[in-house]
Amino acid sequence: MQIDSPHMMSRIKTYASKIYYFYKYNTPLGVLSLDEAIAFNFVAFCSMVLMLYWIVAVLPALSMRVIEATYYYLTGNRISVGVLALVYFSRKLFWHASSHSMPQHGTNITRMGRQQFAL
């Protein structure tokens, strides 16, 4: 489904309005003065930014360390999850790139090369 389709845009607007109304009616914003509402929104925004930072930056590194420590505890061997991920993705990338340029099974490579460079 394309993101610019009318159905997708209406779903995004619906979710955004649901989040807005949830925030508006489930927080004490209705009874706060303007100064208190500004302070409350500032604290809520800062806590949301810190939570997103924790999820994006800290949690993956922490989970990788936990996986490495668990593997070391179970097997006695050290392993780096970052190196494993790099090997996995590089193999996947290079396999994808090389699979499009490899000749088919049973193809004569020298004949293929001569046909390619023949005038």
Express each pLDDT in 1-13 by its tens digit: 556 677 888 888 8
Q: Is 32 helix (H, G, I), strand (E, B) or coil?
A: coil
Decide if 72 is inside a domain. Answer: yes
pLDDT digits 0-9 by tens, 21-74: 998 899 998 899 999 999 999 999 999 999 999 999 888 888 888 888 888 889
Domain that holds residue 79: 52-99
Closest CA to 81 of 89, 104, 54: 89
End-to-end CA distance of the chain: 46
| Cα–Cα distance, 30 to 37 (Å, whole number) | 9
Decide if 15 is inside a domain. Answer: no
Decide if 4 is inside a domain. Answer: no
pTM of the prediction? 0.52
Decide if 82 is inside a domain. Answer: yes
| Cα–Cα distance, 111 to 99 (Å, whole number) | 20
Decide if 67 is inside a domain. Answer: yes
Decide if 76 is inside a domain. Answer: yes
**Placement of tokens 């360390």 in the chain:** 65
Decide if 116 is inside a domain. Answer: no
Decide if 83 is inside a domain. Answer: yes
Domains identified in the chain, total number: 1
